Amino acid sequence: MSPDWAAKPTTVPYAKFGDPQSLNLYSYVDNGPVNRIDADGHGFVNEAFQDWDFDIRQVGVAMEEANSQSSAAPPKAAAPEKPTVTATATGTTATITRTYDYFDGDAVVEYGEVETRTGNHPFRDNNPGDIVGGTFSKANGAVGTDGRFAIFPNAATGFQALTNLLMTSTYQNLSIDAAIVRYAPPIENDTKAYQAGVAAAVGAPGQTRLSNLSASQLGNMVQAIARIEGFFQAGTVTTRAFGYQGFDW
């Protein structure tokens, strides 16, 4: 063992003569690194350890608080005003499911109804115009498809979608007769009879542009299309309610 580098022998720096381990200049924290630390190489081991232990305790408290918050129940939510609506189809049956789910403060609550509809496409699909499934139908409220046709959540949405379709520039720039040729081509329909039926319902010649029709006339055209497509040939409708509470928090 050697003294420090003073001109004459002096006390070993940072040593405690009552603790022989502190006289070993090549040891770290009195040869007890498991339980002690020395932040700057000169500090008193016990004081450094006390500060470090305090920091660890504070970290532990913070972790406990974080865990407590993460396991807390989510805030209570009010029952939703509108349901989530989905639809599927099998054979000649369309099934429309309306689901409400929310957290009531104690548990997750889910309830709703399943509506089963049978009949032709326009009726069972709430689709009076037999609008095909795709971008337009989805943008206008369709919730599923039945073969190539869209399923709407209710008849009102289906009627509005048909009205919106006839209001597009594609149809507004056509005459009644030309619009029906586009809407119900001869390859699938008796187009001449279709044209005559619509013109009679509208009360205007087939050469009249849709853009020149009044709101009432356009409404009559929508009703005529629904009638010719078969929407008013009612099928069957049954509903079944469901509901349950999920896990308690």
Q: Chain centroid to CA 60: how far?
A: 37
Flag whether 11 is in a domain: no
The answer to whether position 131 is within a domain reads yes
Based on the fold, state whether residues 131 and 59 are members of the same structural domain. Answer: no
Same-domain check for residues 160 and 134 = yes
This prediction has a pTM of: 0.66
The pLDDT, as a whole number, for residue 243 is 79
Residues 95, 188 within the same domain:
yes
Q: How many domains does the chain have?
A: 2
| 63, 111: one domain | no
* Strand runs labelled E in 123-171: 144-146, 149-151
Q: Is residue 5 part of a domain?
A: no
Q: pLDDT by residue (tens digit) across 29-58?
A: 666 665 566 655 655 445 444 444 445 455
The domain of 35 spans 20-70
The reported pLDDT for the residue numbered 48 is: 44
CA 122 remoteness from chain centre: 28
Task: State whether 94 and 137 are in the same domain.
Answer: yes
Report pLDDT for 207: 97
- The pLDDT assigned to 101 comes to 80
Exposure letters 212-228 (e unless 16+ CB within 10 A, then b): ebeeebbebbbbbbbbb
pLDDT of residue 231: 96
Q: 39 by DSSP, 3-state: which?
A: coil
Q: Please name every residue paired with 242 in a beta bridge, in sequence order, or none if there are none.
A: 112
212 and 120, same structural domain?
yes
- Helix, strand, coil share of the chain (percent; to 5): 40, 20, 40
- Which residues are paired to 110 by β-bridges? 101, 244
Q: Does the pLDDT value for residue 15 go beyond 80?
A: no
Per-residue pLDDT at 18: 60
Provide the pLDDT confidence category of residue 102 given band limits of 50, 70 and 90. Answer: confident
Quick check: is 97 in a domain?
yes
